[in-house]
Amino acid sequence: MDGMTLELREEDLPPDPIALAQRWFADAQVAGIEQADAMTLATATRDGRPSARAVLLKGVDARGFAFFTNYESRKGRELDANPYAALVLLWVPLQRQLRAMGRVQRLSGEESDAYFATRPRGSQLGAWASEQSRPLPDRSELEQRWAALDERYGGATVPRPPHWGGFRVEPDEVEVWQGRANRLHDRFAYVRTPDGGWTHERLAP
Protein backbone atom coordinates (compact mmCIF):
# COMPACT_ATOMS: atom_id res chain seq x y z
CA MET A 1 0.00 0.00 0.00
CA ASP A 2 3.06 2.24 -0.22
CA GLY A 3 2.23 5.44 -2.06
CA MET A 4 -1.53 4.97 -1.74
CA THR A 5 -3.43 7.69 0.08
CA LEU A 6 -6.10 6.21 2.34
CA GLU A 7 -8.32 9.24 2.25
CA LEU A 8 -10.71 10.51 -0.37
CA ARG A 9 -10.90 14.27 -0.78
CA GLU A 10 -13.65 15.77 -2.86
CA GLU A 11 -11.18 17.78 -4.93
CA ASP A 12 -9.49 14.52 -5.94
CA LEU A 13 -12.67 12.86 -7.24
CA PRO A 14 -12.76 12.32 -11.01
CA PRO A 15 -15.93 13.55 -12.74
CA ASP A 16 -16.71 9.99 -13.85
CA PRO A 17 -16.92 7.25 -11.16
CA ILE A 18 -15.83 4.58 -13.65
CA ALA A 19 -12.38 6.20 -13.71
CA LEU A 20 -12.24 5.89 -9.92
CA ALA A 21 -13.43 2.27 -10.09
CA GLN A 22 -10.64 1.46 -12.54
CA ARG A 23 -8.05 3.16 -10.34
CA TRP A 24 -9.20 1.43 -7.18
CA PHE A 25 -9.34 -1.96 -8.90
CA ALA A 26 -5.77 -1.44 -10.13
CA ASP A 27 -4.69 -0.37 -6.62
CA ALA A 28 -6.17 -3.57 -5.16
CA GLN A 29 -4.27 -5.69 -7.68
CA VAL A 30 -1.00 -3.83 -7.04
CA ALA A 31 -1.53 -4.28 -3.28
CA GLY A 32 -1.69 -8.04 -3.85
CA ILE A 33 -5.17 -8.43 -2.40
CA GLU A 34 -6.34 -12.00 -2.88
CA GLN A 35 -9.31 -12.20 -5.27
CA ALA A 36 -9.30 -8.46 -5.82
CA ASP A 37 -11.82 -9.14 -8.60
CA ALA A 38 -14.41 -10.76 -6.29
CA MET A 39 -17.67 -8.84 -6.08
CA THR A 40 -21.09 -9.41 -4.60
CA LEU A 41 -23.81 -9.31 -7.23
CA ALA A 42 -27.43 -8.82 -6.19
CA THR A 43 -30.32 -9.60 -8.53
CA ALA A 44 -34.07 -9.88 -8.01
CA THR A 45 -37.02 -11.76 -9.40
CA ARG A 46 -39.68 -9.98 -11.42
CA ASP A 47 -41.68 -9.44 -8.21
CA GLY A 48 -38.67 -8.06 -6.31
CA ARG A 49 -37.43 -11.03 -4.26
CA PRO A 50 -33.65 -10.50 -3.99
CA SER A 51 -30.73 -12.90 -4.07
CA ALA A 52 -26.98 -12.28 -3.93
CA ARG A 53 -23.78 -14.18 -4.58
CA ALA A 54 -20.08 -13.61 -5.23
CA VAL A 55 -18.91 -13.46 -8.85
CA LEU A 56 -15.70 -12.28 -10.50
CA LEU A 57 -15.34 -8.88 -12.14
CA LYS A 58 -13.94 -9.50 -15.60
CA GLY A 59 -13.74 -5.98 -16.91
CA VAL A 60 -14.59 -2.40 -16.07
CA ASP A 61 -14.68 0.30 -18.73
CA ALA A 62 -16.78 3.30 -19.72
CA ARG A 63 -19.73 0.99 -20.38
CA GLY A 64 -19.77 -0.56 -16.90
CA PHE A 65 -18.84 -3.72 -14.99
CA ALA A 66 -18.68 -7.08 -16.81
CA PHE A 67 -19.00 -10.63 -15.49
CA PHE A 68 -19.75 -14.04 -17.01
CA THR A 69 -22.14 -16.82 -16.11
CA ASN A 70 -24.51 -19.50 -17.31
CA TYR A 71 -27.54 -17.65 -18.71
CA GLU A 72 -29.79 -20.42 -17.35
CA SER A 73 -28.50 -20.06 -13.78
CA ARG A 74 -30.61 -18.39 -11.12
CA LYS A 75 -28.92 -15.03 -11.64
CA GLY A 76 -29.18 -15.36 -15.40
CA ARG A 77 -32.89 -16.11 -15.27
CA GLU A 78 -33.49 -13.30 -12.77
CA LEU A 79 -31.60 -10.81 -14.94
CA ASP A 80 -33.64 -11.79 -17.97
CA ALA A 81 -36.85 -11.23 -16.00
CA ASN A 82 -35.70 -8.11 -14.14
CA PRO A 83 -32.67 -6.54 -15.88
CA TYR A 84 -31.36 -4.48 -12.97
CA ALA A 85 -28.63 -5.34 -10.49
CA ALA A 86 -26.43 -4.01 -7.72
CA LEU A 87 -22.83 -4.94 -7.04
CA VAL A 88 -20.34 -4.41 -4.25
CA LEU A 89 -16.55 -4.55 -4.43
CA LEU A 90 -14.85 -4.64 -1.01
CA TRP A 91 -11.10 -4.32 -0.55
CA VAL A 92 -10.62 -4.69 3.20
CA PRO A 93 -6.84 -4.04 3.41
CA LEU A 94 -7.37 -0.71 1.64
CA GLN A 95 -10.52 0.07 3.65
CA ARG A 96 -12.38 0.67 0.42
CA GLN A 97 -15.83 -0.24 -0.81
CA LEU A 98 -17.51 0.51 -4.12
CA ARG A 99 -21.19 0.00 -4.87
CA ALA A 100 -22.83 0.28 -8.29
CA MET A 101 -26.45 -0.04 -9.34
CA GLY A 102 -28.05 0.03 -12.77
CA ARG A 103 -29.47 -1.71 -15.77
CA VAL A 104 -27.92 -4.94 -17.03
CA GLN A 105 -27.33 -5.94 -20.64
CA ARG A 106 -25.92 -9.12 -22.15
CA LEU A 107 -22.52 -8.76 -23.79
CA SER A 108 -22.27 -9.41 -27.51
CA GLY A 109 -21.54 -12.93 -28.68
CA GLU A 110 -18.16 -11.73 -29.93
CA GLU A 111 -17.20 -10.38 -26.49
CA SER A 112 -18.32 -13.58 -24.79
CA ASP A 113 -16.45 -15.71 -27.34
CA ALA A 114 -13.27 -13.71 -26.81
CA TYR A 115 -13.35 -14.14 -23.03
CA PHE A 116 -14.35 -17.82 -23.21
CA ALA A 117 -11.29 -18.50 -25.37
CA THR A 118 -9.02 -17.27 -22.56
CA ARG A 119 -10.42 -19.67 -19.95
CA PRO A 120 -8.51 -22.84 -19.01
CA ARG A 121 -9.73 -25.83 -21.02
CA GLY A 122 -11.05 -27.54 -17.89
CA SER A 123 -13.20 -24.52 -17.09
CA GLN A 124 -14.45 -24.42 -20.67
CA LEU A 125 -15.59 -28.03 -20.34
CA GLY A 126 -17.11 -27.20 -16.96
CA ALA A 127 -19.32 -24.56 -18.58
CA TRP A 128 -20.80 -27.31 -20.75
CA ALA A 129 -20.99 -29.94 -17.99
CA SER A 130 -22.72 -27.90 -15.29
CA GLU A 131 -26.43 -27.12 -15.51
CA GLN A 132 -25.83 -24.29 -13.07
CA SER A 133 -28.37 -23.82 -10.27
CA ARG A 134 -30.28 -26.98 -11.28
CA PRO A 135 -30.69 -29.94 -8.86
CA LEU A 136 -27.84 -32.47 -9.15
CA PRO A 137 -28.41 -36.03 -7.83
CA ASP A 138 -24.75 -36.55 -6.94
CA ARG A 139 -21.28 -35.27 -7.81
CA SER A 140 -20.42 -38.33 -9.88
CA GLU A 141 -22.97 -37.33 -12.50
CA LEU A 142 -21.26 -33.96 -12.93
CA GLU A 143 -17.83 -35.59 -13.17
CA GLN A 144 -19.11 -38.11 -15.73
CA ARG A 145 -20.49 -35.31 -17.90
CA TRP A 146 -17.15 -33.52 -17.74
CA ALA A 147 -15.21 -36.67 -18.64
CA ALA A 148 -17.51 -37.39 -21.59
CA LEU A 149 -17.00 -33.85 -22.89
CA ASP A 150 -13.24 -34.16 -22.42
CA GLU A 151 -13.28 -37.26 -24.58
CA ARG A 152 -15.65 -35.74 -27.12
CA TYR A 153 -13.52 -32.68 -27.80
CA GLY A 154 -10.16 -34.42 -27.45
CA GLY A 155 -7.54 -31.93 -28.58
CA ALA A 156 -10.06 -29.77 -30.44
CA THR A 157 -11.04 -26.24 -29.52
CA VAL A 158 -13.93 -26.15 -27.03
CA PRO A 159 -16.65 -23.80 -28.35
CA ARG A 160 -18.57 -21.46 -26.07
CA PRO A 161 -21.90 -22.96 -24.98
CA PRO A 162 -24.87 -20.97 -26.29
CA HIS A 163 -26.21 -20.76 -22.73
CA TRP A 164 -23.03 -19.17 -21.34
CA GLY A 165 -21.77 -15.61 -21.70
CA GLY A 166 -21.37 -12.17 -20.24
CA PHE A 167 -23.48 -9.47 -18.68
CA ARG A 168 -22.61 -5.84 -18.07
CA VAL A 169 -23.97 -3.71 -15.23
CA GLU A 170 -24.39 -0.23 -16.73
CA PRO A 171 -24.52 1.93 -13.61
CA ASP A 172 -26.66 4.97 -13.05
CA GLU A 173 -25.58 5.17 -9.40
CA VAL A 174 -22.12 4.56 -7.93
CA GLU A 175 -21.12 5.00 -4.30
CA VAL A 176 -17.53 4.97 -3.04
CA TRP A 177 -16.42 4.57 0.56
CA GLN A 178 -12.94 5.13 1.99
CA GLY A 179 -12.32 4.12 5.59
CA ARG A 180 -10.97 6.76 7.97
CA ALA A 181 -10.17 6.94 11.70
CA ASN A 182 -12.95 7.03 14.28
CA ARG A 183 -15.41 5.73 11.66
CA LEU A 184 -15.46 9.20 10.11
CA HIS A 185 -15.22 7.67 6.66
CA ASP A 186 -15.15 9.47 3.33
CA ARG A 187 -18.28 8.53 1.38
CA PHE A 188 -19.49 9.94 -1.93
CA ALA A 189 -22.46 9.11 -4.15
CA TYR A 190 -22.46 9.62 -7.92
CA VAL A 191 -25.73 9.80 -9.89
CA ARG A 192 -25.94 9.79 -13.67
CA THR A 193 -27.56 12.87 -15.23
CA PRO A 194 -30.03 12.87 -18.15
CA ASP A 195 -27.28 13.98 -20.54
CA GLY A 196 -25.09 10.99 -19.62
CA GLY A 197 -22.77 12.86 -17.27
CA TRP A 198 -22.49 12.51 -13.51
CA THR A 199 -23.07 14.55 -10.38
CA HIS A 200 -21.75 13.64 -6.95
CA GLU A 201 -22.23 14.60 -3.33
CA ARG A 202 -20.67 13.69 -0.01
CA LEU A 203 -22.73 11.43 2.27
CA ALA A 204 -22.45 11.04 6.01
CA PRO A 205 -20.72 7.76 6.88
119-143 per-position pLDDT tens digit: 999 999 999 999 888 898 899 999 9
> Tell me, what's the pLDDT at 4?
58
Mean pLDDT, residues 38-44 taken together: 98
Q: So which residues are the catalytic ones?
A: 183
Mean pLDDT, residues 104-124 taken together: 97
CATH 2.30.110.10 describes domain 10-117+160-202: yes
Contact 164, 68 (CB under 8 A): yes
Burial string for 115-135 (b: 16+ CB within 10 Å, else e) reads bbeeeeeeebbbbbbbebeee
> Tell me, what's the pLDDT at 6?
78
> Tell me, what's the pLDDT at 100?
98
Q: Which residue has the higher pLDDT, 114 or 133?
A: 114
Domain coordinates in residue numbering, the chain: 10-117+160-202, 121-159
Q: Pairing relation of β-strands 59-61 and 164-178? A: unpaired
Instruction: Please state the φ and ψ torsions of residue 191, each to the nearest 5 degrees.
Output: -135, 135
